[in-house]
Amino acid sequence: MLICPDDLGHLSYVLAGDGPPVVLVHAGVADHRMWDAVVPALAERHTVIRYDLRGFGESAPPSGPFSEADDLRRLLDHLGHERVRLVGASWGGRVALDFTLTYPDRVHSLALLAPPWRGYDWSADMVAYDEAETAALDAHDLDTAVQVNLDMWLRGPAREWDDVAAGLADQLRGSVRTSLVNQDIVGEHSRGPVHGDLAAIPVPTLVGIGKLDVPDFQDIARRYATEITEATLVEFPAAAHLIALDTPIELTAVLGPFLAS
C-alpha cells in the first residue's frame, strides 16, 4: 500500500485504473479490501482510490483529534485531485456525506450505500446488538465481539449463514477485529459527524440499500433519498448491509452508469 503521512500518523491507500477519479470509502467493520470485487470493473474507466480510514486496516490509529472529512481532503490534496466521485458504504457513507457537506465544490457525485443517520432512534434489535458487543468487549472476549458484528453486518437479520457466500466471513474477520481493537481511541479523537442541510447537497446522489439489511437502515436509506434533492434510491434484493461484498456484480452494474453520468 501507499502512504499519505501526516502529524497524526498516516493514511494507507491503493490506486487502480485510469480516468476520472472515484473514491471508495469502506464500512466501519471493514477496510479498503471490502471493495476488491468491484474495483476491476470500475478501474476500466476510472482512477479508483481506496484508503483505510484512520484506525482501520493499515492506517495508523489517531494520536490526536481528527476529522474524517479533513482526512479525505488531505488525501485528495496529496494525490492532486480537486474534484472526485464519492462512494461510501455504511460509516464510509457518513464520511462521504460529511465530506460533501464540508467541501461541496470537490464532489462530482455521491453514492451512499446503507449509511447511518445521525441521532436515529434505533430499534430494540439494534440496541440488543450494541449491548452484546459491549458485553463481549467488557469481558475482553474479542472473538465473541467479532462474531456479534459478523452476525449483524454480514449475515444480517433475514438469512442464515448457509445463505452467505462461502469465505466472506473469513475475509472480513480480520478487519472487524482491527476496528474493534482501535474503536476506543478512534472514538476518543474523532470530531464526529458534520451538521448540514441535506437538501442543499448540490450533486447527483445515489442511495443504495440491501433488502436483507436491518430494517432501521432500510428506513434510513429512504430518509436520505427523500431529504437529498437529487437523490435516487436503488434496492439490492440479494444484499444485506455490505452490498459490495454480497452483490458486487449488481452493484457495479448500477455504479458504472451513475459514475459516468
Q: What value does the mean pLDDT take over residues 4-31?
A: 95
Give the pLDDT of residue 37. 97
Confidence check: pLDDT of 146 > 90: yes
- Asked whether the beta carbons of 147 and 4 are under 8 A apart, the reply is no
pLDDT per residue as tens digits for the range 87-139: 999 999 999 999 999 999 999 999 999 999 989 999 999 999 999 999 999 99
Q: Which domain holds residue 195?
A: 2-121+185-260
Confidence class for position 186, pLDDT limits 50, 70, 90: very high
Confidence check: pLDDT of 192 > 80: no
28 located within any domain: yes
Confidence check: pLDDT of 27 > 80: yes
250 located within any domain: yes
84 located within any domain: yes
Give the pLDDT of residue 56. 97
86 located within any domain: yes
43 located within any domain: yes
133 located within any domain: no
- Asked whether the beta carbons of 168 and 154 are under 8 A apart, the reply is yes
Query: CA 229, CA 217: separation in Å to the nearest integer?
Result: 19
Give the pLDDT of residue 5. 87
> Burial of 200 by CB count in 10 Å (0-12 exposed, 13-18 middle, 19+ buried)?
exposed
Q: What value does the mean pLDDT take over residues 257-261?
A: 94
Query: Average pLDDT over the chain, rounded to whole?
Result: 96
Q: CATH number of the domain at 23, please.
A: 3.40.50.1820
- Asked whether the beta carbons of 81 and 180 are under 8 A apart, the reply is no
Q: DSSP label at 242?
A: -
13 located within any domain: yes
User: Measuring CA to CA, how many Å separate 209 from each of 148, 160, 174, 201, 240?
Assistant: 21, 19, 24, 20, 8
Q: 208 in helix, strand or coil?
A: strand
Q: DSSP label at 122?
A: -
- Work out how many domains the chain is built from and give that number: 1
Confidence class for position 6, pLDDT limits 50, 70, 90: confident
Continuous H helices in the chain? 39-42, 68-79, 91-102, 124-138, 142-149, 168-181, 183-189, 215-227, 243-246, 248-260
pLDDT per residue as tens digits for the range 28-57: 999 999 999 999 999 999 999 999 999 999
Confidence class for position 255, pLDDT limits 50, 70, 90: very high
How many CB atoms lie under 10 A from the CB of residue 135?
A: 13
Q: What percent of the chain has pLDDT over 90?
A: 93
Give the pLDDT of residue 94. 95
147 located within any domain: no
Q: 96 in helix, strand or coil?
A: helix
